[in-house]
Structure 1
Amino acid sequence: MNVGHDETALDDPVGTSLTGHHAHLARRVGGASTYLPDVATFATVRADAGPAAWTDLAALLGSGELADMFSCPATPPDHWEPVFSLDGFQMVLPDGVEGGLAEDTADADADVVELGADDVPEMLALVARTSPGPFWPRTRELGTYLGVRRGGELVAMAGERLRPPGWTEISAVCTAPEARGQGHAARLVRALITGIEARGERPFLHVAEANTAAVALYKRLGFVIRKPVTFRGFRTP
């Protein structure tokens, strides 16, 4: 499938982000890299990493710490304890797709706002209620985050996370239980798509295979599955 942009950067989205747009948020030791604390837990080594790269990653993270390998296919040494494994999809929005879904499901009384440092406590509280995926006190530094406020209260949000060359990942899409079914998630994703495309980049995202409602929403918005992925985490020795 040709989506009109170079897809190779999406094969290691953490690594290509940390050596590119997010280099200022990176920590590195030898052949291993990860994000700064409280920004993201994702770490990476080359897909063909040898023992030295895993030694570098253990030195970078410290003993007994979580190595959140995201979708990195490299396999650590046997003495690294598995912590989690979750099947999912990497999805992309092909060139020429507008990001469908009509506006008429949106709540016209809800305000879409850009979220900043002062909004972090509310963002963390919403994440705690909805569990959209990893989100930390400095995650908003990865890109633009938008929210929906209803009566002043933050009831939905979505933002930009990984930034491989030519691409921006949409992430942290979540809505408070009492505000679901009002089109907030679609409205926020469409707004992010507009901003990403204005930079000449393409949107992509990751979603758990078991989250069938989210997969269906993203397909209605025009996203297509590029490939299956497995999200994995390990404990450093």
Structure 2
Amino acid sequence: MKVNEDALDNPVWNSLTDTHFNECIDYGNVKFYKTDYAPFGAFINSEDTSAPIEKHSQLIKDFFIVGNKPKIPEHFKPLIRYVGLQMMLYNQLDIPIKEEIITLNKAHYDQLIDLVELVYPHFFKAKTNTLGTYYGIFKKGELVAITGERFQTKNFIELSAVATHPDHTGKGYATKLIAHAANTIFDKGKIPFLHVDQTNLGPIALYKKLGFTVRREMEYWKISC
């Protein structure tokens, strides 16, 4: 039976009102992740979003609204628009995984943060890894590749932070981690999806090769006061 995908039209809002309710800062018609979890927020109608955005700017310097263009205070810097592709996977991946994949825990935190800061620093905060399960591949005790879960609703889990150390690219680690993470999401009775910047052609080609399909474009609005 096909699952209704309407929740993915506003994934941040629906994540914050569902699985990540406890990680939400609630400004009424605008909601944000707590700043040590993620720099993202969303809104649900055309009411003026300026006042909530003004309040949130006192907690974090730069942040994003995901979805429709928000209204911001006049004294803020102009909005910067990014466009991402929201991609879906509807079937489990039949990919042999010969690498040992480790479910990361608190003992791996420092190595996780070091790798993130090297290759994926922009959207990752101190507690982002607690929004879902993270997986890694180690070589000689060094964490060399990761992926994990971020936005979540009743029926969907987003794959995020697909990252490989520059010294270990081209070895298929990302493919194996995506397959493992996606199949684990299916085993939970949910559907995996992800977001990728439309200019990030290499990852887009990989995701399509694995069977992900583009569902829609998703706008990200960077806000700086």
Question: TM-score by structure 2 length?
Answer: 0.91
Is the contact between residue 93 and residue 222 of structure 1 (CA under 8 Å) also seen in structure 2? Answer: yes
Matched, 1:36 2:34: yes
Q: Secondary structure at the match of 1:213?
A: helix
1:172 is matched with which residue: 161, 167, 184?
161
Paired residues, what number? 224
What corresponds to 1:217 in structure 2?
206
What corresponds to 1:17 in structure 2?
15
Q: Secondary structure at the match of 1:192?
A: helix
**Structure 1: gaps spanning 5 or more residues:** none
Matched, 1:84 2:73: no
What corresponds to 2:100 in structure 1?
111
Is the contact between residue 133 and residue 172 of structure 1 (CA under 8 Å) also seen in structure 2? Answer: no
CA positional deviation for 1:88: 1.8
1:99 is matched with which residue: 93, 96, 118?
93
Is the contact between residue 182 and residue 192 of structure 2 (CA under 8 Å) also seen in structure 1? Answer: yes
Note the alpha carbon deviations across 1:132-174, whole angstroms, 9 max, x for none. Answer: 7511111011000000001110000000000023000000001
**In 1, Cα distance between equivalents of 2:27 and 2:197:** 30
Q: Secondary structure at the match of 1:189?
A: helix
Code of the residue aligned with 2:35 in structure 1: it is P
Mapping of residues 199-218 of structure 1, within 5 Å: 199-218=188-207
Q: Secondary structure at the match of 1:17?
A: helix
**In 2, Cα distance between equivalents of 1:38 and 1:167:** 23
**In 1, Cα distance between equivalents of 2:121 and 2:162:** 6
**In 2, Cα distance between equivalents of 1:5 and 1:132:** 33
Code of the residue aligned with 1:59 in structure 2: it is K
Q: Which runs of 4+ in 1 moved over 3 A?
A: none
What corresponds to 1:228 in structure 2?
217
**In 2, Cα distance between equivalents of 1:169 and 1:21:** 12
Code of the residue aligned with 1:8 in structure 2: it is D
Q: CA RMSD in A?
A: 2.0
Q: 216-225 or 73-82, which moves further after superposition?
A: 73-82
Q: Percent identity?
A: 29
Q: Secondary structure at the match of 2:15?
A: helix
Question: TM-score by structure 1 length?
Answer: 0.87
Q: Secondary structure at the match of 1:162?
A: strand
Q: Secondary structure at the match of 1:82?
A: coil
Is the contact between residue 132 and residue 172 of structure 1 (CA under 8 Å) also seen in structure 2? Answer: no
Is the contact between residue 89 and residue 225 of structure 1 (CA under 8 Å) also seen in structure 2? Answer: yes
**Structure-2 change in CA distance of 1:165 and 1:58 (3 Å):** farther
Q: 200-209 or 111-120, which moves further after superposition?
A: 111-120
